[in-house]
Amino acid sequence: MHENQGYEIDQILQEMRTDYWRNLEAAEEGVGGSKTEYLIICCDNSRYGLLAENCREVLKLPHLVRVPRLPEYLRGIFNLRGEIVVVTDMCPLLGQETQKIHDNFRLVVVEEGAIKTALLVEIVEGMASIDEGAIESLADGAGAGARDLIFGKVVQGEDVLVLLDISKLLERPELIVDQKKKFEGDS
Residue 183 lies in a domain: no
Query: Per-residue pLDDT averaged across 154-165, rounded?
Result: 89
Q: In 3D, which of 145, 168, 173, 144 has the Cα closest to residue 71?
A: 173
Buried b (16+ CB within 10 A) or exposed e, 128-150: bebeeeebeeeeeeebeebeebb
Residue 73 lies in a domain: yes
Residue 185 lies in a domain: no
Residue 181 lies in a domain: no
Residue 1 lies in a domain: no
Average pLDDT, the chain: 82
Q: What is the CATH number of the domain that holds 165?
A: 2.40.50.180
For 65-108, how does the pLDDT look when each residue is reduced to its tens digit (9 = 90+)? 999 988 888 899 999 999 999 999 988 888 888 888 888 899 99
Q: Which domain holds residue 86?
A: 9-174
Given pLDDT bands bounded at 50, 70 and 90, which one contains residue 25? confident
Number of domains composing the chain: 1
Given pLDDT bands bounded at 50, 70 and 90, which one contains residue 187? very low
19, 35 Cβ separation under 8 angstroms? no
CA distance 75 to 86: 8
The CB-side HSE value for 80 (13 A sphere, CA atoms) comes to: 19
- Residue 49 pLDDT > 60: yes
Does the pTM exceed 0.85? no
Q: In 3D, which of 58, 38, 55 has the Cα closest to residue 152?
A: 38
